Every structure is written in structure tokens, then in C-alpha cells.
Chains A and B, each alone.
Chain A
Amino acid sequence: MPVRCHVKSLQICDQVTGGVLAMQKIKSLMTRQGPKSPQDSIHDLSPVENFRIPSKEELRDLREQATDPQAEQELINSIEEIYFSNDSFDVVQYELEKLPPVLSLQEMEEYRDRLKRQQAAVSKKVADLILEKQPSYVKELERVTSLQTSLQLAAVICTNGRRHLNAAKEGFTQASLGLLANQRKRQLLIGLLKSLRTIKTLQRTDVRLSEMLEEEDYPGAIQLCLECQKAASTFKHYSCISELNSKLQDTLEQIEEQLDVALSKICKNFDVAHYTKVQQAYRLLGKTQTAMDQLHMHFTQAIHNTVFQVVLGYVELCAGNTDTKFQKLPYKDLCMHITSESYIPCLTDLCKALWEVMLSYFRTMDWHEKHDQEEVPSSSDSNNVPATENNFDRSYIKKKLEHGLTRIWQEVQLKVKTYLLGTDMSNFKYDDFIFVLDIISRLMQVGEEFCGSKSEVLQESIRKQSVNYFKNYHRTRLEELRMFLENETWELCPVKSSFSILQLHEFKCLGQSRSPSMSPSKQVSSADSASLSLFDQYSSGGNPFEIQAAMKDDETEDVLASNGYESDEPEKSAYQEYDSDSDVPEELKGDYIDEQTGDAPTKSVSRETLRSRKRSDYNLNKVNATILTNTTLNVIRLVGKYMQMMTILKPIAFDVIHCMSQLFDYYLYAVYTFFGRNDAHESSGLGLSSSRLRTTLNRIQESLIDLEVNGENPGSLASSEEKKQKVPSPHLSQLVILTSSNTLFGLAERVVATESLVFLAEQFEFLQTHLDSVMPAAKKPFLQQFYSQTVSTASEIRKPIYWIVAAKAIEYEQTLLIMGNVKWDVKEIMSQHNVYVDSLLKEFEQFNKKLSELTKHVRIPLPVSNILWEHCIRLANRTLVEGYANVKKCSNEGRALMQLDFQQFLMKLEKLTDIRPIPDKEYVETYIKAYYLTENDMERWIKEHREYSTKQLANLVNVCLGSHINKKARQKLLSAIDDLDRPKR
């Protein structure tokens, strides 16, 4: 628009005179730019025809004339002010008036040129300005055109509208307007209905949610709940929604609670599907970590609840009333109320229940191991899972679970410990106690597999109970052993010659496997599941403590079957089975016909009859028949039981072995006090018992024998604890008569007793390596000492015991008496021996007869008969020397008679006994022959032969007096004997 103004001005400037006018116009336009509205401009300049573009020539002139902008500006400035001032001023008039009164052409022309220049400058300026504004002009023009079009459209709409309004004015009624309004309402209501329906569905979801919860579809429920919340948020402009929202929030919390309950169920009965659901649910909630933390709490709680419920169940069952007081008791006190009858079933159930919990934990870990790996990559694509879940560190779970293992096992141990120590088990039956130990060792095995634990807590409590139990058990056993010993008549207990302790079921584990480190039950389990851990074995079902119970049955069956008719148990073979009769001489086969006199049940009569023909294996005369008594068997069985205990109870192995040694000690002590103690002999200093044996017996008496029981001596109260460890000295059964010479002073009983002890010692020797292997290294010296000082002395006890028989069996005093009547100062060589020899030999013959008589009842082992013979012969020879030393007078011939007598004695004796050389033969011969020695020889001889008593030596010297020893020599020799005597004492 301003451009048009300029164009108009340019028209004016076309003319020479019009130049000034144009300038004036431009000037005014220049000042008026901006405030003028477009409408006005359009109005002013609308005739486009006026628009005339200056000729090229003119423009070129303009450009040539003023190229310098500075000069141009000056030119423009030089334009008179008036040209810029008013619109309505007449330029021509002004210039004309300005003309001086005298016109000079030159001046005029100059003036005219000046005006022309000015005009050119203005034109140029205007053209420049026009060029400058050209683009904005074009742009503006376009807008103007579009505005024009819009205006035309608006005009059309308005026209239409007016027309319609006119039509409506004519056509519309109120009713149709109402209809219209209703329609609009309807549309709104339909929208509302839709929303309400959705809200209703949302409200109903609650029902569905609780249904889902009942179905335990936690992830579904949570998903639904979360969707509902989302949906609800789009309707939050409804006031009912806020209520619904809070309800949904409540539901969500409720779900969480239920989920927690569901999680706790895992602890008792792990179910993969169930746990997967729960874990999914927690992931949806973004609370996996919380879940893991909760899980540990639940497991701990589960352990507590489980043990409490199990124990409470048993306590209430046993109490037999519905008294609720037990429910309020702490677990520890509750354990005290368990009766000894219910102790084992309760413990078994306890372990079973705890196993379930641990297995659940194990399977939980297993689940995580499998699922966490799978889920980590897939978790990114599940958009429902909150961001916290995706960032959650899966290794946390693993760490947490692994850490939990030890804590849970510790918890289990503590609970079981409380239970274990809650009852005094010292009065339990042996088998029951072993059963408890077996359960616990199995539990420890579980612990080992569960978390590699050494189960210190369990071991310590089981050790405590074991020591307590074992002390009590051992006390009872010792007391029982005393009773056995006091009722023992030292009759031979008939066993097969091939009897071995390994045939006894107490030693079965030893005989079969030779693996001392295993308890019988462990062998079974390790045999069939060597490579399989318990958790692998029972992960799908079953319970290792169930097997335990079954194994107990097996074991008892073994024990019981071992002597049964139908079974092939080894023990049976020791007593009942007659596997081969080939080694039995035909004539012996009829020995035991009486066995069939109805002893056996009818059903097995035929077999029994068959067997009875072969009974001869029990023949007591058999060379190698084992000599043992009922009591020996009892001790051996006890040893077996103790060894079983040791195997299961490694920690108290030493205590057990110590007690085991006491069994042997007591047996040894009993046999000695019954048959070997003879104060007369002890004091006579014959040294029958070796110092080793005496030391051992003294040790036993001091450590084991309670001597105060019989002596009424309540004053000296030894500490009762010490007394508890001791047993009174046993008394020999009144049925055993040791005074009859017909029975060789109870030789049979003595043999059975002594040899059974020797047999027992042999069994101990046999077990030594085994015992050594279970003995802790630090305590091995005890065992070595026990063997070297006690067990090995067993056979030494033969000496004092058989000595007593030997001392009484022959009438030595009688011989001595007869010898006193013999005259030795004879003057001729006699050819007939003296009567005392015959009487002594007769005694020996009788002894021999009694001995062989006895052999029919009791096998007398060769060492025993040898010892007996040796003792007798030694005693006889000593009697002879004593007899010879009693002689008052003796001639050379008399001395020869002595030799003759002794030769006779030896000759006959050698026919009676096989023992060679005859013991103490030299002893007699040397003494007799010493008579012939000269004085000097005699002195030396006296010094060399200290085995003779002072009396015997003195007598020798006295007898020689008068033949080849004079009085002076006698004095000298007697003083030599006295000298010998002194250092002796």
C-alpha cells in the first residue's frame, strides 16, 4: 500500500515541474507510513491504472546521476522543507512565487537543473525502496487474496445460514426442539451407561478376585487387580470409583496377605506348580526380594510350629486329657512332658516333619536354580512386571537361599537338641537307645548333605545323652554280670567246636563287613544309595526316617531269626545246624538221642530227629571243644553290644572301651577270687601269681570293687559318685563245692571258669585291632596297657588256681609222715625201695584216675593237665626234698637208697604222665647227691644252690657230719649258710 503511494508520486515526478510535487508527496508519504490502516490505503490507491512504471531511460538517468548515496542524501537534504510539509500546497504556485522579480534565464536554468537533480535523487530513492519491499509486497498480496476468498466463503455461509434461519423460522415447532434435546440427552446417557457397565464389571471383579484367590491363582488375581486399578483410574471422575479404588487396594493387600500364607505353605509341602504361581505373583507385585526375606521367616516359623505341633500331639496323647495347659507351655518345657514310651515315635515323627521342611527348602533352592536362569532373559519382554523386578538382582536370591541353609539347619539342630535333652534316656532299652542314635546319625547325614554341616550341636547333645545313658547302662550291666557270676555254677555251655563270636548276632556287622566305621543301618543305606544323596533319593516322596523304622524291623528280625528253625543265620549254625556229619565218627552219632524227647515243636520233629543223630558235635571230650560258660557268653554278647555302641558313638568310644575293659576285669577278678585266692599260698611267698597278675588284680580291686558293701562300715562314706562306679565283690554260687576231693576240689568248675576266662581273653585279643581302630589316638595307650597288663595275664591265672588243686590232690603231708619213719643210716645197699614211694605213687594214680574221670565231663585242655601234673610233681619233689632234709642220720648206703627210691618214683611216674622232662627232677637229685661233696665243694655248692631252704642246707651239713665232714668244717659251712641267709632277708 505505501508502495502505491510512491507509484503515484512517481507519476507526478514525470513532469519537470511536477518533480517538486512528487517530492513533496513522497515526503509526506514517508512520514505517514505505519499508522495508516490498509483499508484506507486501498481506498486511496485502488485505481490500479494509475500505476505507471518509469521508463528505462529515466531510471538509467537516475542511476547515472546519483551513484553516490552520500551525495544523494545531501541532494535530498537540500530539498526545501516545504516540499515535505503539506499535502495541499501548490508546488507550482510556490515555485512561481519564489521566482525573483527579475528573471534571469541562467538562474532559472540552474534552478531548474537543481530541481531536476533533486527529483532524480528522490526517484532513485523511491525505486530503491520499491525494490526493497517487492518480496513482502508479493507475500502480502497472496494473503490478501486468500483473505478475499475466505471472506467470499463467509459471505456464502452467512447467506446460507440466513436462508436456513428463515426456513427454520417458518418450519420448526417446540416439539421437535424437545426431541432434539432428548436425543442429545440419550446420546450422553448411552455414554454414561457404558461407563457404568465398566464400573459394574470392575466392582464385580472383586468377586472374581476372591474366587481366583480361592483357586490359588495368585498371579491371575494380581494381574486382574492391577488391570482393574488401571481401568478405574480412567473413571476417576466418578465418585464411586474412589471407593472402588480403595477397595481394590484393600483387595491387593489381602492378596498379598494370602500370598504370604501361600508362601508359608511351601515350607511344609513344596509343590512346584504352587511355588511357581506364588513366585509369579510376587514378581507381578515387584516384591520378589520381600518374598525371599519372608520365606526365611516362614521356614523358621515352620520349623518351630512343626516341632511344637508334633511334640504337643504326643504330650496330649499321652496325658490322655484335653487339658489345654500344654498348648501354652514353651517348647522346652513341653519336651520334658514326653513320656519314655512316646519318645521314639515322637522323635521319628519330629525328624520326618523336619525332613519335610528341609526337603521343601531344598526343593525351593532347586526351583530357583532352574527357573531363575530361564527367567532372566525372558523377564524383559513381560511388560507387566514392575521395573523394580527387572532391575532385581537374581543372585541375591541365590545368596540368600544359600545363607539360609546353615541357619535353617542350625534351627533344626537346636530344636532336636532341646527334644533330645528333654528326656533322661538312661533307663531306655538298649535297642531303643541305639535306635535313637541311628535316627540322629541319619539326621546328621541329612545335615551333612543339606549344608555340609558337621552337626556340632547334635553331636554334642547326643554325646551328652550317650555318656549319661552308657554310664547307667554299664552300671546295670555290671550289676547284672555280678548276678550272673553269683548264679554261675561253672557248667560248660555246649557250643559247637567251630563256635566263633562272629556267629553271634551282636558281632554280625564285624563278621560280615569288617568295616568298623559303619553302623549296621548305615551299611544298608550306603549299599543301595552310595552315590545318591538323601535329597535326591527322597525328593519325589518318601522319608528317610520312614526307612529308618523299617530298618529297625529288619534288624530285630535278624536278631530274632538268628536262632530260629527256618533261618540260615550264622548264629544258628553255632548251636543248631549240623552242616556236615562227615567229621563225626559213626559211633558218636548216637550221643544225644534224648534231644528228641519232645523238645522241639511238633512241626519240626522230623528234622529235629534227623539232627539229633548228629548231636555228637557237642561232645565235650572233643579235642578242641570251646570252653565257655553262660556268663562268658553273656560277657561276649555285652562286648558285642558295647562295640555296636562304639561304632555309632564314636565320640564316646573311649568311655565304652573303658567300660568294656571293666567287664573283662570283673570276670577276671571273679574267677580269681572264686578259684585262685588262697591267702595261705600268697603269704607263703611261693610267687604263684606273677607280680604282673598281682598288680592287675590290685588295680581291679582298687578301681572297680566296692569292698564296703559287705563290711558294715558306714562310717567311711566314699563319695557316692565314686561308689556308683564300683561293684561289690561277687560271691561264688553255693552250688559250687570246692572242698570235695572226689571232684578234685571242683577241678571241673575251676577248669571251666579258668579256661572260659582264657577263651574270653582270646576273644579280646581277636578284637584288639578292631578296638584299636575305633580308639582315638590319644587314648590308644590305655588300650595297649589294658591288653599288655590285663588281657595277657588271663592265662597266668591258671597257675594259682590249679596250684590249689595240685596242693590238695596229693597227700604230701602223709608222704612226709611215712618218710619220717624210714631209717637212712643203713649199712648195706638196699635193693627194695621204700613204702613212701608207693604211697606217693598211689596218690598220683588216684589223681590220674580222677582226672580222666573228669575228662568225661569237661574237656581238660592239654596245657591245663600239664600244669596240674607239673604242680603235683613239683610239690611231690619238694615234699621229697623236705623229707630227705628231715633225716637225722644218714649213711652212704642210706643216700643210695634215697636215689633208688627216687628212681623208682620217676620210673612209675613217667608211666602216668606224658610230661617231660619231669619238673624239679634235678632239684631232688642234686640235693641227694650234694651229700657226697667234699668240704670245699660243698661250700661252693651251698652258695650256688639257693633254691633250698636254710633248714634243708643246714640239715645236709649236719647229716654229713661224721662221714666226711668234721665238726670244724660243719661250723664253717653253717656260718656260710647263715651268711647266705642274711642278705636274703
Chain B
Amino acid sequence: MGTHVFLLTDFLFKFLVIGNAGTGKSCLLHQFIEKEFKEDSNHTIGVEFGSKIINVGGKHVKLQIWDTAGQERFRSVTRSYYRGAAGALLVYDITSRETYNALTNWLTDARMLASQNIVIILCGNKKDLDADREVTFLEASRFAQENELMFLETSALTGENVEEAFVQCARKILNKIESGELDPERMGSGIQYGDAALRHLRSPRRAQAQSVQECGC
């Protein structure tokens, strides 16, 4: 290791992880960032945070992920983090129909509070507990189709599809930016130019100054 390379990022996306309590949101995030399963996790209080730089289609995207508490009593705290989210992982537990049934509410909340253009990927978590499954893949994918969501079944335990969920969501957002559907400059888009992009786009003078600074190190 020795020298850690700090990647210059092209974009910064604000992400949300939402869904009922106990569906494994924090575990998904933990698995995504730390590449390990968080044993015997506890309920999130309010909102927690994680960030990671991923490479999507040659672009370095920094994900700023807000992991919200699923419990109702934190709803007022968590809702305030919805605004300006570019992407969201909507998580349910495939072994609990109850968490699946709540999806509509979560979806409404997200579309209403975040932005109309928010890119949401539906994650049926706990894929590893197939024996206790209460929600079939088909049923969930139909729901996803109807609501224009991407869909994956994930396992925070094994790590299956965890990275994919975040990457797919980020890729979709990038596509939307490229197609002009999303405008990063617009306020509350949940998208910012990263430091790399900033240097080229916004302030060439500043970029020069900084690169000079870096050479000195």
C-alpha cells in the first residue's frame, strides 16, 4: 500500500438508502464500503453516512450515501436527507412480506421529497435466506417494472449484487446526465461536479494553481 492515491472524482452523487427497519440497509452499505458483513447489526439512529469512490464507465464517481433509519420515529429526521438525492436504494427483505408491502409508501415519499428524477433501484435483500422467502423474484420485478425501478436481489451477507446495485444506479444517473435528461448544474439535483471535473470546467486558473501545489509534494 504505502502511497494511497487520492482519486480525482468527476462527479459526486448524493445517494439514499431507504426501506423498512430491519431490511439490512446499514449492512448493505457496510458491505459496499468495507467489503464485509456486519454481524448482528443494530438499528440505525437517525442517519448515518458513508462514502466511496467508484468507477463507472471510466468516470470516477464519489457516492455520498446517507443511510437512513428505517424506524418510523426517525422519519422526520430522515426525511430531511431526501432532498437533493440523485439516487436511492429502496430496500426490502425477501423474507418479510411486510417490508415489501411498505414499498409503495417509501416510493411515494422518495419521489415527493427527493426529486421527480431520482433514480431508484429496488433491492430485495437477504437473498441468502432463500428458504424463508416470502416475496418471489417475479412479483418484485413486476412491481419494479410498473414503477420504473431497477431491480436486483442482493445479499449483504454474501455480498452478492451489493456493489452492482450501487454501480447500476450510478450508471443510470450518468447516462441521464449524458443524455441531458439530468442537469448537474440544477440546484437540488443531488449531483455535483467532482474536483477533477471542477478543475476543468469551472476554474481553469484554480486548477493550475492546485496542480502546481501538488507537484511540490
Contacts and interface: CB of A to CB of B under 8 A. Distances in A.
B1 A595 contact: no
A488 B83 CA distance: 11
Interface in B36-57: 38-47, 49
Nearest to B71: A599
B98 A598 contact: yes
A944 B26 CA distance: 66
Contact of B77 (A338, A491, A720, A734): A491
A736 B67 CA distance: 20
A600 B81 CA distance: 22
B96 interface: yes
B99 interface: yes
A561 B43 CA distance: 9
Find the residue from B44, B74, B80, B81 having the highest chain A CB count within 10 A: B80
Interface stretch (A80-88, A200-208, A240-248, A570-578): A570-578
A107 to B, nearest CB: 153
B72 A564 contact: no
A720 B97 CA distance: 54
B66 A487 contact: yes
A483 B64 contact: yes
B209 A564 contact: no
A382 to B, nearest CB: 59
A563 B77 contact: no
Contacts of B84: 734
A210 interface: no
A424 B2 contact: yes
Contacts of A592: 72-73
Given A560-B41, A595-B72, A734-B187, A602 B98 contact: yes
A699 to B, nearest CB: 27
A884 B4 CA distance: 70
A528 interface: no
A35 interface: no
Contacts of B22: 599-601
Given A424-B4, A599-B72, A714 B209 contact: yes
Contacts of B187: 734
Given A483-B49, A601-B96, A602-B98, A560 B38 contact: yes
A423 B209 CA distance: 30
Interface string A553-573: 000110011111001010110
B203 A597 contact: no
A820 interface: no
B98 A493 contact: no
Nearest to A592: B73
Interface residues of A, number: 57
A44 interface: no
A892 interface: no
A630 interface: yes
Find the residue from A423, A595, A602, A634 having the highest chain B CB count within 10 A: A602
A497 interface: no
A336 B1 CA distance: 7
Contacts of A629: 46, 77
B41 A564 contact: yes
A576 B1 contact: no
Contacts of A556: 39
A633 B46 CA distance: 9
Contacts of B81: 487, 489
A483 B36 CA distance: 25
Contacts of B49: 480, 483-484, 634
A361 to B, nearest CB: 33
Contacts of B186: none
B62 to A, nearest CB: 11
Contacts of A489: 80-81
Given A597-B102, A598-B99, A601-B96, A575 B43 contact: yes
A20 interface: no
Nearest to B73: A494
B170 to A, nearest CB: 18
B72 A340 contact: no
A28 interface: no
A595 B213 CA distance: 53
A562 B42 contact: yes
Contacts of A733: 80
A575 B45 contact: yes
Contacts of A495: 45
Interface string A799-826: 0000000000000000000000000000
Given A336-B2, A427-B4, A493-B46, A557 B39 contact: yes
Contact of B1 (A340, A491, A602, A735): A340
Contacts of B46: 493, 629-630, 633
Interface in B5-63: 20-22, 34, 38-47, 49
Interface in A479-525: 480, 483-484, 487-489, 491-495
B102 A598 contact: yes
B70 interface: yes
Contacts of A571: 42
Contacts of A598: 20, 96, 98-99, 101-102
B195 to A, nearest CB: 12
A656 to B, nearest CB: 22
B3 interface: yes
Find the residue from B20, B38, B72 having the highest chain A CB count within 10 A: B72
B73 A563 contact: no
A129 B2 CA distance: 123
Nearest to A338: B1
Contacts of B42: 560-564, 567, 569, 571-572
Find the residue from A339, A572, A601 having the highest chain B CB count within 10 A: A601
A711 to B, nearest CB: 11
A323 interface: no
B101 A557 contact: no
Interface in B63-103: 64, 66, 70-74, 76-77, 80-81, 83-84, 93, 95-99, 101-102
A630 B206 contact: no
Contacts of B70: 599
A717 interface: yes
Nearest to A493: B46
A426 interface: yes
Interface in A599-652: 599-602, 605, 615, 618, 629-630, 633-634
B71 A595 contact: yes
Contact of A424 (B1, B38, B209): B1
A112 interface: no
A493 B74 contact: yes
B45 to A, nearest CB: 6
A429 B70 CA distance: 26
Nearest to B210: A714
A492 B77 contact: yes
Contact of B45 (A557, A563, A618, A714): A563
Nearest to B134: A602
B1 A717 contact: no
Contacts of A293: none
A90 interface: no
B212 to A, nearest CB: 9
A562 B113 CA distance: 31
Contacts of B97: 602
A730 to B, nearest CB: 15
A429 B34 contact: yes
8 contacts: A427-B4, A494-B73, A494-B77, A561-B40, A629-B46, A714-B206, A720-B217, A734-B83
Given A339-B1, A600-B21, 4 more contacts: A594-B72, A602-B96, A630-B47, A734-B188
Closest 9 CB pairs of A and B: A563-B42, A489-B80, A630-B46, A598-B98, A601-B22, A599-B21, A714-B209, A340-B1, A560-B40
